[in-house]
């Protein structure tokens, strides 16, 4: 499998965030991008020698581990040979101390919540304009001393080593989390680090990204090669397809695969919107039998995702072989996907496959020996950034704000075995639910809503007859980046109406429930 496009990090000066597994790690990249510094997060196991770009600075994130634990993750020491500034946050600071021989162990008190920052070194560039601000703590371990060459630059009531620095080597450590909004001046502190200490240029913006991206695609694809694109009608792939169409016009062929687990009338509607509305050259391929046959008897969610991801690629390779490029005798080499940053983050993990939350079909479901080279222009972006991009590219507000729909579709919303009958039940219930959400004027207040079909039967009574049928679970969430989410509070009357319509109109359903779990601890999808 090959990633075909030159890394964005070679084009924009980039801060590297090494993720040691903290629940806040991704916020570090978000905050930096908010003040126009491009940042990229990689697992802490990243070998610096294998990086094909040079960061302007490195941030070591927090972690649920203790540095002294036998299985704790450790930083590649080559980070310090890059000659760029390094900032360790919480675990990151403890790691800086520990690898330099300083004792780190359990403190007598855990410190969780607010503290006031007391800057000792008033000249420190890291703390410019952040003295006396509230900072957010979340740790149980502490430093028992200073590593050689370091000095204390800040304290707090409970943390004598709240901020440390080796100014000569430009290595900094802080015990609190500047990336969370509860740290009042946290964003400013990160700006001080990235802009004043690392001297990174603040030129990351969506408009610059579009121009750069279009140029990168043109250079990569060359004057006559053609590209196919996996396009679902969802926000991500539509934005990616529009970008591609801007870059290479009708040398781009968008393919929508009907995998048999799409929503009601989806293929027809998408064809209409993309072709007529956006001038994207789109073909719909019906592969529903192939997908449903392969899913027969499979109940494990990860297996379903992998089967679907693999089958998508088989279909794309087949279609690519059928399209004969007009201006060249070469075969189609590239496949465009609308992969986003969260798809990547959740599908990989520094702790190995056991910690993968779920394999997004378009990342972990790819074939090892695939022939097509991937172009994923949105791979570094968050959902809200992609939406901003979509608006700038002139895609309709309605499409840009569509609820996401996962590639494995209804297959991961029919819990257990996927059959045509089960898919039909889930699809019908989902259609009613979304129709009612739209009628109630709630569609744009909710980030994503759908119905799931549970593999359990429950007893009911309909028309004086005993029924023994399945259960539908409704889900609706509020979130902007889909990394964390809360459930949406409907009025009871709304839920009553939806429940009654589903049970009355969908054969095979005897009961409707509403999912009231946030992410974490749940995920958005049930599988």
Ligand X SMILES: O=c1[nH]c(=O)c2[nH+]cn([C@@H]3O[C@H](COP(=O)(O)O)[C@@H](O)[C@H]3O)c2[nH]1
Ligand Y SMILES: Nc1ncnc2c1ncn2[C@@H]1O[C@H](COP(=O)(O)OP(=O)(O)OP(=O)(O)O)[C@@H](O)[C@H]1O
Q: Does 85 bind Mg ion (CB under 5 A)?
A: no
**Residue 105 or 283 having the CB closest to ligand GLN:** 105
CB of 519 to ligand X, least distance (A): 5
Radius of gyration of the chain (CA): 25
* Token pair recorded at residue 260: 């048999």
Task: Tell me which residues in 353-372 interact with ligand Y (CB under 6 A).
Answer: 362
* Token pair recorded at residue 88: 């360790």
Q: List the one residue from 107, 114, 325, 404 that touches ligand Y (CB under 6 A).
A: 404
* Marked catalytic residue, from 139, 177, 253, 360: 177
Contact yes or no for 156/135 (Cβ under 8 A): yes
Contact yes or no for 163/124 (Cβ under 8 A): yes
Question: Considering only 61-69, 146-154, 185-193, 465-473, which stretch makes contact with ligand GLN by CB under 6 A?
Answer: 61-69
Query: What residues contact 95, with CB distance under 8 A and at least 6 apart?
Result: 20, 60, 67, 74, 75, 88
Q: Does 191 bind ligand X (CB under 6 A)?
A: no
Residue closest to Mg ion (Cβ): 234
How many other CB atoms sit within 10 Å of the CB of residue 518? 14
**Residue 33 or 361 having the CB closest to ligand X:** 361
Query: What is each CA distance from 495 to 82, 425, 444, in whole angstroms?
Result: 57, 19, 17
Q: Does 174 bind ligand Y (CB under 6 A)?
A: no
How many residues at the interface with ligand X, by CB under 6 A? Answer: 16
Q: Has 505 been annotated as catalytic?
A: no
Q: Does 90 bind ligand GLN (CB under 6 A)?
A: yes
Q: Does 234 bind Mg ion (CB under 5 A)?
A: yes
Q: Does 525 bind ligand X (CB under 6 A)?
A: yes
Q: Give the x-and-dash track for 393-432 against Mg ion (CB under 5 A).
A: ------------x---------------------------
What is the rounded distance in angstroms from the CA atom of residue 379 to the CA atom of residue 133?
Answer: 35
Contact yes or no for 271/282 (Cβ under 8 A): yes
Q: Residue 238 annotated as binding?
A: yes
Q: Is 515 exposed, middle or buried (0-12, 13-18, 19+ CB in 10 A)?
A: middle
Q: Residue 363 annotated as binding?
A: no
Q: Does 479 bind Mg ion (CB under 5 A)?
A: no
**Residue 194 or 231 having the CB closest to ligand Y:** 231
Q: Which helix (H) or strand (E) holds 474?
A: strand 465-478
First-last CA distance in the chain: 26
Q: Does 140 bind ligand GLN (CB under 6 A)?
A: yes
Q: Give the x-and-dash track for 87-126 against ligand Y (CB under 6 A).
A: ----------------------------------------
What is the rounded distance in angstroms from the CA atom of residue 453 to the CA atom of residue 12?
Answer: 45
Q: Does 405 bind ligand Y (CB under 6 A)?
A: yes
Q: Does 14 bind ligand GLN (CB under 6 A)?
A: no
Q: Is 69 exposed, middle or buried (0-12, 13-18, 19+ CB in 10 A)?
A: exposed
Q: Has 90 been annotated as catalytic?
A: yes
**Residue 46 or 232 having the CB closest to ligand Y:** 232
Q: List the one residue from 139, 361, 427, 511 that touches ligand X (CB under 6 A).
A: 361
E-strand ranges in 320-384 read 334-336, 373-375
Q: Residue 233 annotated as binding?
A: yes
What is the rounded distance in angstroms from the CA atom of residue 473 to the CA atom of residue 480?
Answer: 23
Q: Does 346 bind ligand X (CB under 6 A)?
A: yes
Q: Does 232 bind Mg ion (CB under 5 A)?
A: yes
Write down the residue that tokens 């990174």 correspond to.
Answer: 200
Task: Tell me which residues in 428-457 interact with ligand X (CB under 6 A).
Answer: 448
Q: Residue 133 annotated as binding?
A: no
Query: What is each CA distance from 78 to 26, 46, 51, 501, 507, in whole angstroms?
Result: 23, 10, 11, 61, 62
* Closest to 16 in 3D by CA, of 165, 211, 193: 193
Q: Which helix (H) or strand (E) holds 323?
A: none
Q: Does 135 bind ligand GLN (CB under 6 A)?
A: no
Q: List the one residue from 104, 256, 375, 483 that touches ligand Y (CB under 6 A).
A: 256
Regarding beta strands 163-166 and 151-155, do their DSSP bridges make them parallel or antiparallel, or are they unpaired? antiparallel
* Marked catalytic residue, from 90, 162, 198, 452: 90
How many other CB atoms sit within 10 Å of the CB of residue 356? 16
Q: Residue 423 annotated as binding?
A: no
Write down how long the chain is. 527
**Residue 116 or 517 having the CB closest to ligand X:** 517
Q: Does 427 bind ligand X (CB under 6 A)?
A: no
Q: List the one residue from 61, 102, 232, 422 that touches ligand Y (CB under 6 A).
A: 232
What is the rounded distance in angstroms from the CA atom of residue 82 to the CA atom of residue 16?
Answer: 12
Q: Has 177 been annotated as catalytic?
A: yes
Q: Which helix (H) or strand (E) holds 89?
A: strand 86-89
Contact yes or no for 179/89 (Cβ under 8 A): yes
Q: Does 159 bind ligand GLN (CB under 6 A)?
A: no
Residue closest to ligand GLN (Cβ): 62
Query: What is each CA distance from 317 to 124, 220, 225, 313, 322, in whole angstroms?
Result: 56, 20, 16, 6, 9
Q: List the one residue from 89, 406, 454, 524 that touches ligand Y (CB under 6 A).
A: 406
**Residue 28 or 345 having the CB closest to ligand Y:** 345
Binding stretches for ligand GLN (CB under 6 A) = 22, 62-66, 90-91, 138-141
Binding-site residues for ATP, in ranges, read 232-238
Active-site positions read 90, 177, 179
- Site for ligand X, rule CB under 6 A: 305, 346, 358, 360-362, 404, 406-408, 448, 482, 519, 523-525
């Amino acid at each position: 499998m090959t990633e075909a496009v030159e890394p964005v990090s070679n084009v924009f000066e980039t801060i590297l965030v090494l993720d040691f597994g903290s629940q806040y790690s991704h916020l570090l990249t978000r905050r930096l991008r908010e003040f126009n510094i491009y940042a990229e997060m990689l697992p802490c196991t990243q070998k610096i020698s294998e990086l094909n770009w040079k960061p302007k600075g490195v941030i070591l994130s927090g972690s649920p581990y203790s540095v002294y634990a036998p299985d704790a993750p450790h930083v590649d020491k080559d980070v310090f040979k890059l000659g760029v500034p390094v900032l360790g946050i919480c675990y990151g600071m403890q790691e800086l101390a520990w690898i330099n021989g300083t004792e780190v162990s359990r403190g007598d008190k855990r410190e969780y919540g607010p503290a006031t920052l007391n800057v000792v070194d008033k000249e420190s560039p890291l703390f410019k304009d952040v003295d006396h601000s509230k900072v957010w703590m979340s740790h149980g371990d502490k430093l028992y001393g200073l590593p050689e060459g370091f000095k204390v630059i800040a304290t707090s009531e409970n943390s004598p080593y709240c901020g440390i620095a080796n100014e000569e080597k430009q290595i900094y450590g802080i015990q609190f989390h500047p990336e969370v909004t509860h740290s009042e001046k946290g964003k400013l502190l990160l700006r001080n680090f990235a802009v004043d200490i690392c001297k990174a240029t603040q030129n990351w913006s969506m408009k610059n990204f579009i121009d750069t991206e279009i140029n990168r695609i043109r250079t990569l694809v060359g004057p006559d090669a053609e590209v196919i694109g996996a396009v679902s009608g969802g926000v991500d792939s539509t934005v990616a397809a529009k970008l591609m169409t801007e870059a290479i016009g009708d040398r781009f062929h968008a393919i929508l695969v009907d995998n048999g687990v799409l929503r009601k009338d989806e293929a027809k509607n998408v064809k209409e919107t993309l072709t007529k509305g956006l001038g994207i050259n789109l073909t719909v391929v019906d592969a529903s039998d192939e997908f449903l046959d392969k899913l027969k008897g499979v109940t494990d969610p990860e297996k379903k995702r992998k089967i679907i991801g693999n089958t998508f690629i088989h279909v794309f390779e087949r279609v690519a072989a059928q399209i004969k490029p007009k201006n060249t005798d070469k075969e189609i080499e590239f496949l465009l996907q609308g992969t986003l940053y969260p798809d990547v983050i959740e599908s990989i993990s520094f702790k190995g496959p056991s910690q993968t939350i779920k394999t997004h079909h378009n990342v972990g479901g790819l074939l090892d020996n695939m022939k097509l080279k991937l172009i994923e222009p949105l791979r570094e972006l968050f959902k809200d950034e992609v939406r901003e991009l979509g608006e700038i590219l002139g895609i309709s507000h309605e499409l840009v704000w569509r609820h996401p729909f996962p590639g494995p579709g209804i297959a991961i919303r029919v819990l257990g075995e996927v059959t045509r009958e089960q898919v039909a039940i889930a699809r019908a219930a989902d259609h009613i639910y979304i129709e009612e959400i739209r009628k109630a004027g709630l569609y744009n207040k909710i980030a994503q809503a759908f119905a799931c079909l549970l593999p359990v039967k429950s007893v009911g009574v309909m028309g004086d007859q005993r029924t023994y049928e399945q259960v539908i679970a409704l889900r609706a969430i509020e979130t902007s980046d889909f990394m964390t989410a809360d459930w949406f509070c409907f009025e009871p009357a709304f839920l009553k109406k939806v429940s009654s319509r589903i049970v009355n109109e969908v054969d095979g359903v005897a009961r409707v429930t509403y999912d009231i779990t946030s992410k974490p601890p749940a995920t958005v999808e049930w599988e």
